[in-house]
Each structure stands twice: as C-alpha cells, then as structure tokens.
Structure 1
Amino acid sequence: MGLTADEVRDKRFSRARLGRRGYSEVEVIGFLAEVANTLDGQGEVSAAQVHNIAFSTSLGVGGFDEEEVDTYLDLIEDELAARAETG
C-alpha cells in the first residue's frame, strides 16, 4: 500500500506565506489524526470525505499552505479509494 498511518501522523506542512490564506492548523491536524486511525483500521474516513473536506481559513496569520495540504489530501483520497476497491 501507499501511505501509512505513521506517515500521515508525521506529515508537516509549510505555513502560508504572508498575505496568503492558510488552512486552520488545528482542523488539518485533527482530520489527519482521523485519517491515520482509518489507515490503522480504527476509523471510517472515506475517500469521499477527504474529497469534500473544507477547512477554515485565515489570512496572514498562521495556517498551513493550502496548495500543499490539498496536494497531500489528493494522495490520501487515492489511497483510501484504492483500499476500498481491494477490500
């Protein structure tokens, strides 16, 4: 398989640049914890939920880089979809 629960738990993102919107760090970290639990067989996050997740954003002060998070969520979505197909 592709991603592991530990890789998801350990993932770090860059902060949004000054003047750019960033995703809520608390929300992203919390959601990734749910995904990691799912990858460990202890949760029920689906590929569709990953696809449809919406995080709060803030401008200028903190927050994770949106593009970086979105790219990683695409990988997670693909992983969960592949697992659903096989099992």
Structure 2
Amino acid sequence: MDIDDPKDVVRATWLRPGGWFLGTTGHSAWTGTDEDWLGGGVAMWWSHADAATYRDWLIGAGLTVEGEEFVPEGDGGHALFWARRPSAGE
C-alpha cells in the first residue's frame, strides 16, 4: 500500500469489522527537520497534524475512538489513539 496522504492510513480497508486501530500521532501540528535524528548525523523530516485533526480523520473513516491519551516527550508530546471499526450490526 502506498501512503501519499496521512489520511490514507485510516481510510484503508485493511481493518476488519470489530478490529482495533492503535496509533501514535502528533499532538500539536508541526513541520520541521531534526538535523541530527537519534544522534546518527542524518536529518529527519517531520510533518504531522494535531490530535484533533487525527481524531476527525479516524471518525471520518468510520472508526469509533475508544480512547485518547497524551504521551509527553521532551517539550511536547504525542497523542495515542485507540479506535475500533464497528462490527456488522453495530
């Protein structure tokens, strides 16, 4: 599967009815470069939306967000989502 747009991850049809999606996303929108990623001497480019946008994408893909948690890291952090594709009849 080629992912050209982050929304494609949650739009994907690979998640079975009743299946769970667990994802770590950006908490605040950010685009930038870490010039020495993991101390390896190479640059890593980052771009992500904020948690509210990811939540909207999950819901828009027909998933039910069952949990969301802030995970601190350094001066910021991430959002951890638990979402589920409803089973037939739900």
Q: Which has the larger radius of gyration?
A: 2
Q: More strand per residue: 1 or 2?
A: 2
Common topology (TM > 0.5):
no
TM-score (structure 2 length as normaliser): 0.30
Relative contact order (C-alpha < 8 Å, sep 6+): which is higher?
Answer: 1
TM-score (structure 1 length as normaliser): 0.31
